């Protein structure tokens, strides 16, 4: 049989954590009773430096049921680092790992279907949203824009799939060979290959608490994904520079023609437009290059991707 470990990253989730883990534990028990997973399967909760009662709740859950274990970071390292820490810990003991957020907006009732696809031969099973009706207009359209942009830049991603997924032991070992600090698992996992499957579900609103993914964090994650997985923006700088040069040449020809025809022009508007355009291109180009250089700086320092303060086994 299959030993399953459900990995739950949590950051300030005191409002929902208790009920979420109870629901996941019930699902695991049903899988155990149907002999789809082993009796020693469990749940691993990764506390990403919470400042509320998240860790005490994890300790209480562990005391009641030792199969519910916990990792506590020394500080907040981010959602992607929490997922990686859970996978790194579980891979030495579990046959298959499923990652799911603590708010359970992703449907945990699809976990048995994921296990079935794994047992049918899939090494990776993605949870894919069937629609985005629960999202705001802004979030829905920016998500579509992001996935479309990544596709045009040659990045393989699963549209409408976040971090609710199943990974086999072999797939996790392959994933851990990627050593970059700027983690974007949604882009890295599809690069692994292996046989894949998917289950569709409808996302539900949070039962309590507030989302921990602010607009700033979502934009940061998107930028991290782009700069981690493709160098297309650097090439775009070259073509943008070529366009600016062509416009400058065209403006020069136009100005010379007007001069030869004996017509005088004030020229202030065209001059200022050119200055603003060239200045904007230069500043944007420097910003893109700086973004890539900052990633190189972080990578060459080889700092730890996370630091574990406590581990409840």
Most confident region among 141-145, 191-195, 269-273 by mean pLDDT: 191-195
Look up residue 160 and give its DSSP letter. Answer: T
What mean pLDDT is predicted for residues 271-297?
70
- Answer yes or no: is pLDDT of 115 > 80: yes
Q: What is the CA radius of gyration of the chain?
A: 25
- Residue 184 is encoded by which pair of tokens? 């974007």
Q: What angle do CA 287, 145, 291 make, to 5 degrees?
A: 15
Helix (H) / strand (E) containing 5: strand 4-10
Would you kindly state where each structural domain of the chain is located, as residue ranges? 4-230+304-312, 232-301
Confidence of residue 71 (pLDDT cuts 50, 70, 90): very high
**How large a percentage of the chain has pLDDT more than 70?**
66
Query: Do 90 and 7 form a contact (C-beta atoms < 8 A)?
Result: yes
What CA–CA distances, in Å, run from 120 to 24, 90, 124, 161, 260?
A: 23, 22, 11, 21, 78
Domain at 4-230+304-312: CATH architecture: Alpha-Beta Complex (3.90)
The confidence score (pLDDT) of residue 74 equals 92
Per-residue pLDDT band for 168 (boundaries 50, 70, 90) equals very high
pLDDT in tens, 12-54: 988 889 999 999 999 999 999 988 989 988 999 999 989 889 9
What does the pLDDT read at residue 192?
86
Are 27 and 109 in contact, with CB atoms under 8 Å apart? yes
pLDDT digits (tens, 9 = 90+) for 136-156: 566 666 666 666 666 666 667
Is the pLDDT at 287 greater than 60, yes or no? yes
User: How far is 247 from 97, CA to CA, in rounded Å?
Assistant: 55
- Yes or no: say if 272 and 47 are a contact pair by the CB < 8 Å rule: no
| Average pLDDT for 166-181 | 89
* CB-CB contact of 49 with 270 (8 Å): no
Q: Determine how β-strand 42-47 pairs with β-strand 68-73.
A: parallel
pLDDT, one tens digit per residue, over 214-250 is: 556 666 666 665 656 566 676 676 677 667 667 766 7
d(CA 161, CA 170): 21
> How far is the C-alpha of 138 from the C-alpha of 128, rounded, in Å?
20
């Amino acid at each position: 049989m299959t030993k399953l470990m459900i990995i739950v990253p949590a950051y300030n989730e005191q409002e929902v954590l208790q009920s979420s883990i109870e629901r996941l534990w019930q699902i695991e028990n049903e899988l155990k009773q149907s002999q789809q997973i082993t009796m020693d399967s469990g749940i691993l909760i990764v506390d990403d430096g919470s400042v509320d009662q998240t860790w005490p709740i994890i300790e209480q859950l562990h005391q009641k049921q030792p199969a519910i274990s916990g990792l506590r970071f020394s500080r907040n390292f981010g959602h992607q680092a929490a997922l990686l820490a859970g996978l790194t810990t579980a891979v030495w003991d579990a046959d298959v790992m499923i990652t799911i957020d603590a708010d359970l907006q992703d449907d945990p009732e699809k976990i048995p279907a994921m296990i079935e696809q794994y047992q049918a031969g899939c090494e990776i099973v993605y949870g894919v949203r069937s629609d985005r009706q629960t999202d705001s207009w802004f979030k829905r359209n920016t998500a579509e824009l992001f996935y479309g942009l990544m596709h045009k830049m040659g990045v393989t991603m699963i549209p409408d799939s976040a971090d609710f997924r199943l990974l086999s032991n072999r797939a996790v070992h392959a994933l851990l060979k990627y050593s970059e600090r700027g983690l974007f698992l949604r882009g890295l996992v599809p690069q692994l290959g292996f046989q894949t499957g998917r289950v569709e579900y409808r996302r539900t609103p949070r039962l309590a608490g507030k989302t921990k993914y602010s607009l700033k964090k979502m934009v940061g994650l998107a930028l991290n994904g782009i700069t981690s997985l493709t160098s297309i923006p650097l090439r775009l700088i070259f073509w943008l520079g070529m366009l600016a040069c062509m416009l400058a040449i065209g403006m020069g020809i136009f100005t010379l023609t007007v001069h030869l025809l004996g017509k005088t022009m004030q020229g202030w508007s065209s001059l200022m437009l050119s200055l603003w355009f060239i200045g904007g291109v230069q500043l944007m180009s420097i910003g893109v290059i700086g973004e890539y250089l900052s990633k190189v700086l972080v990578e060459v320092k080889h700092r730890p991707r996370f630091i574990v303060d406590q581990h409840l086994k």
